[in-house]
Amino acid sequence: MKVNIYPLVVGIVRYYLIKGEGIIMVDGGAPNKVKAFVKGIQRVPIRPEEIQLMVMTHGHPDHIGSASAIKDITGARIAMHREEKDCLERGRKDSLPGAWEAFSGRHHSETAVMIIHG
């Protein structure tokens, strides 16, 4: 099966659309970026309603901030680590699980979800 990966750059954040048997979107971007998402997706051969699943890598606002609004546009289901779903459901921006450790050599969220292709 052929898999195509389309990056969408929205400000300093990237979304990834993975098209194989279906279409998965990785991350939901920063808050209030729905218009930028709609504009960006027009540059790839995918319609918003074709996205079936959105995978949130972790619960930081720059990764989930527009996820709920994009879900409303696409109708996609959202998958993320159960320990961080509260961040999405309640819009929490404080005391996120796996505090930032970007400079320690570890990923900055201990409950991050990774997607590996190939």
Residue 77: inside a domain: yes
Residue 108: inside a domain: no
Digit-by-digit pLDDT tens for the chain (118 residues) are 899 999 988 877 888 999 999 999 999 988 899 999 999 999 999 999 999 999 988 888 888 889 999 999 999 999 887 777 667 666 654 434 443 333 333 455 566 655 555 5
Residue 114: inside a domain: no
Residue 20: inside a domain: yes
Residue 117: inside a domain: no
Predicted TM-score (pTM) of the model is 0.77
Range of the domain at 60: 4-90
> How far apart (Å, rounded) are the C-alpha atoms in residues 71 and 56?
12
Number of separate domains in the chain: 1
Residue 50 belongs to domain with CATH number = 3.60.15.10
Residue 100: inside a domain: no
Could you tell me if 61 and 75 are in contact, meaning their C-beta atoms sit under 8 angstroms apart?
Answer: no
